[in-house]
Chain A
Amino acid sequence: MRHLLSIEQLSKVEIEAILDRAESFAEVGRRDIKKVPTLRGRTVVTLFYESSTRTSSSFELAAKRLSADLVSVRAAGSSVDKGESLKDTIATLSAYEPAAIVLRHPHAGAAHMVANWADATVVNAGDGKHEHPSQALLDVYTLRRQLGSLDGKRIWIVGDVLHSRVARSNLIAFKAMGAELTVCGPPALIPRGLEQLGCEVTHSLDRLGEAEVVYALRLQRERMQESFVPSLREYAAHFQIDSRRLGRRQLLMHPGPVNRGVELSGEVIDSPQSLIAEQVASGLVVRMAILYELLASSDGERASAHRNGAGRPTPIGQPA
């Protein structure tokens, strides 16, 4: 695997390899010294054109835990503000010969384009409304720890699917892992033709009880102005996941940040069924695993070792 651009590119076996690697990093996280020397002397650039808390912080901490040198660039306050094109920005950053560029961009396909321009390995940290593969991997990881396997499990994805890259990547990833998928939301917020991804589409929470996992999506407030839904209150009345709708055995997930009282009620966020905090914790180890698999294991390693003249980086206590 040279780049991580989409979940679509990964087979079930490849997804599981990353998750297994993440399990081993979870063990590293329980040590006093949580760092491994794997990427010592190599540079990771995080380039974020959109605001982010979880994704940027966990990729940056993951790179540091792997001993990489980290350069974080935010579009705001950089040359991007001065009108520099994405292509020119990538050329500039490539002068540092980074091993990896982690890119968050408001437009679909941006990571694919950068992968064609740069020598570095490219990790898609969210491209427009298209894909968010690392989020899907950490969600599968979180669920696998809870359920063992996703095979045959019923997962409902509820909310604003139209504007959600998380929904798209997770649909593909959950499907690849064998789950049965239902998508639920107001008609204007479900893209036309989504069924072709192999999910059922409904506009009512009546059958929510059949789900083992309920994955709620963020409703962005600016959607009201575009009349996707008439009001927040109307949305909450029909689509909010609250303690009345969520059964006790159902697991609850959300990619964050949550609009309390809109897509989720306060009590379910803080309930023991909620995996939201686990998702964030998983984010770190899964992103360590992504960087490791791309930069340090098998074929990725040969190319980069050659480029950087470094020997085989062996993480402390890692399985081969």
Chain B
Amino acid sequence: MSLAQLDMRVGEGADLVLRRATVLDPVAGIDARHDVVIRDGSIAELAAPGEALAEGIEEIDAGALHAFPAFFDPHVHLRTPGQEHKEDIETGSRSAAAGGYCGVLAMANTEPPVSTPADIEALRTSARAAASVRVGFLATVTSAMQGEELTEMASLREAGACGFSDDGLPIRSALVLRRALQYQRLCGGTIALHEEDPDLSGTGVMHEGPVSAVLGLDGIPSISESTMIARDAALAGYEGGRIHVQHLSAAESVEAVRAAKAGGVQISCEASPHHLCLTDEAVRSLDPHRFKMNPPLRTEADRQALIEGLRDGTIDCVATDHAPHAPEEKEVPFEAAAMGVTGLETAFASLYTELVIPGVLDLALLIERMAGGAEPFGIERPSLAPGSEANIALCDLGAEWTVGEDGYESRSSNSWCGGRKLTGRVLMTLAGGQVAYRLRSFSLGVAA
């Protein structure tokens, strides 16, 4: 499936030249300074620096900037239908564009959940009217996320569902997941899994360990996640199904996915910036705005295992699990607060600041994983190769900024990075061939 098959607002294709940009697309094998010529929304040419002709079109002095393939997030919550007080397609896709994303996949745990072909069609129509980036929609695996009856998966695929997920909830019954994997042979569509054993998680609100012991908060043990991954990997292997494990948080989970991959299971997985940057030590502040989410922040050993998984390819991609919530859902004690944090606008900058600058991760590897969220769903990844649709994140890797000081594009402000100083900023995003975002203070040097 091509990226262009995902929906977005129809508009004019961009015409511009990014003059002398440092162009890095590790998958396409591009790592050099170029004039990037964009005509009618496509990458027309990667010319030698300063050589491209730009008669009559906008020209940007990108001599101090990096051009990356725009990012793709396979896991965001756009909250529509039903929870538009948190986010909607317009604000969520604007938030994505501000983070350098050209495409996102929206989860189906809305109110009501996205369970019918009509739901998918209505969302796609809305996206064509309001989305600044390409948006694909997942449908639920089970009807109304009840975990019992399968949705009409084949019809949902025909209506354009990009895959299936009951995200927010695990599929408790192994038999139900087995039936879904059997049905997948008929209709395709990767099944994305929120892995958690509801009995082991119980009333937990944070990682189970010394910090939860001191705070007196109910713990969610790592094994709640890893045992379900092991179960579902075995099911997928047995049925020859294709699964994608969402938001890995624990070292045991990385190990479970690694073992499944080695055993030939068609499995991919993702990790979020907050799990790659934070640990449960942050929860000592009892600040639910920034540090309450599910799966929870875990230990330093877990964080290191996630980083190693990202490095060795066990973890295929970065996904934000962007989960907006209204202030009144977070301005309550930790145990009572809603789970989830926003992350689209800070994903690249946070990982660049916390992992690339200290030398933990290669910039090229991060770029590869940031755009790697499309492939697990059979969608081609954004590319800077000439002839591609223009999906470009233009970044200033030297820019320092404080998260939230100018507000957010998202309707919600529960950013796990709120108040942090980050280095590296997206100045401009091209998505689906259109200019999807420009930082307000970023003045463009237009050629005379």
Binds B, one of A31-39, A133-141, A189-197, A242-250: A189-197
Residue of A107, A168, A194 touching B333 (CB-CB under 8 A): A107
**Is A131 in contact with B216, judged by CB distance below 8 angstroms?**
yes
Is A129 an interface position by the 8 A CB rule?
A: yes
Which residue of B is nearest A132, CB measured?
A: B216
A residues in contact with B334, CB < 8 Å: 107-109
In the complex, whether B331 has a CB less than 8 A from a CB of chain A is yes
Answer whether residue A86 sits at the interface, using C-beta atoms and an 8 A cutoff.
Answer: yes
- B212 contacts the other chain (Cβ, under 8 Å)? yes
Task: List the B residue with the shortest CB-CB distance to A169.
Answer: B216
Contact residue among A85, A129, A192, A196 (Cβ-Cβ distance under 8 Å from B216) = A129
* B214–A168 touching, CB < 8 Å: yes
User: Which residue from chain B places its CB closest to the CB of A131 in the assembled complex?
Assistant: B216
0/1 string, B291-308, CB within 8 A of A gives 1: 000000000000000000
A165 touches B210 (CB 8 A): no
Q: Mark A96-116, 1 if CB is under 8 A from B, else 0.
A: 000000000111111011000
CB under 8 Å from chain A, chain B span 326-342: 328, 331-336
Chain B residues with CB under 8 A of A113: 286, 331-333
Q: Which of B422-438 contact A (CB under 8 A)?
A: none
User: For B333, what are the chain A residues with a Cβ–Cβ distance below 8 Å?
Assistant: 86, 105, 107-110, 113, 127-128
Chain A residues within an 8 Å CB radius of B335: 106-108, 128
**Contact indicator per residue, chain A 12-41, by CB within 8 Å of chain B (1) or not (0):** 000000000000000000000000000000
Q: How many cross-chain pairs have Cβ atoms below 8 Å apart between A and B?
A: 70
Interface: B215 (CB within 8 A): yes
- B208 an interface residue at 8 Å Cβ cutoff? yes
Point out the residue from A86, A106, A130, A192 that lies within 8 Å of B215, measured CB to CB.
A130
* CB atoms of B217 and A108 under 8 A apart: yes
**How many Å from the CB of A173 to the closest CB on chain B?**
14
CB distance from B447 to the nearest CB of A (A): 52
Residues from chain B with Cβ under 8 Å of A105 in the complex: 333
Least CB distance from A89 to B in Å reads 12
User: How far is B336's CA from A127's CA once the two chains are assembled, in angstroms?
Assistant: 13
Residues of the B chain whose Cβ atoms lie less than 8 Å from the Cβ of A109: 215, 286, 333-334
Contact between A192 and B209 (Cβ–Cβ < 8 Å)?
A: yes
B332 to chain A, nearest CB (A): 6
Query: With the chains together, A129 CA to B216 CA distance in Å?
Result: 5
- Asked if A87 CB lies within 8 Å of chain B CBs, one says yes
Interface size class of B (residues with CB under 8 A): 20 to 34
Query: Which residues of chain A (192-233) have a CB below 8 Å from chain B?
Result: 192-197
A161 to B74 CA separation, bound complex (whole angstroms): 42
Given contacts A129-B217, A130-B216, contact A108 B286 (CB under 8 A): yes
Assembled-state Cα–Cα distance A109/B212 (Å): 13
Specify which chain A residues have a CB less than 8 angstroms from the CB of B331 in the assembled complex. Answer: 85, 87, 113
Question: Complex: how many Å from CA A87 to CA B330?
Answer: 11
The verdict on B219 contacting chain A, using a C-beta distance below 8 Å, is yes
Residues of B within 8 A of A197 (CB): 213-214
- A54-85: CB near B (< 8 Å → 1, else 0) gives 00000000000000000000000000000001
User: Chain B: which residue is nearest A167 at the CB level?
Assistant: B216
- Complex CA distance for A191 and B211, rounded to whole angstroms: 10
Contact B217 A192 (CB under 8 A): no
**A191 in complex: contacting residue of B219, B286, B328, B332, CB < 8 Å:** B219
Residue of A at shortest CB range from B213?
A: A191
Tell me the chain B residues, 196-232 only, with Cβ under 8 Å from chain A. 208-219, 221
Q: Which A residues between 146 and 205 are near B, CB-CB below 8 angstroms?
A: 165, 168, 191-197
**Apart from the given pairs A85-B331, A108-B217, 5 other A-B contacts in the complex at a CB distance below 8 Å:** A85-B332, A113-B332, A128-B216, A193-B211, A196-B210
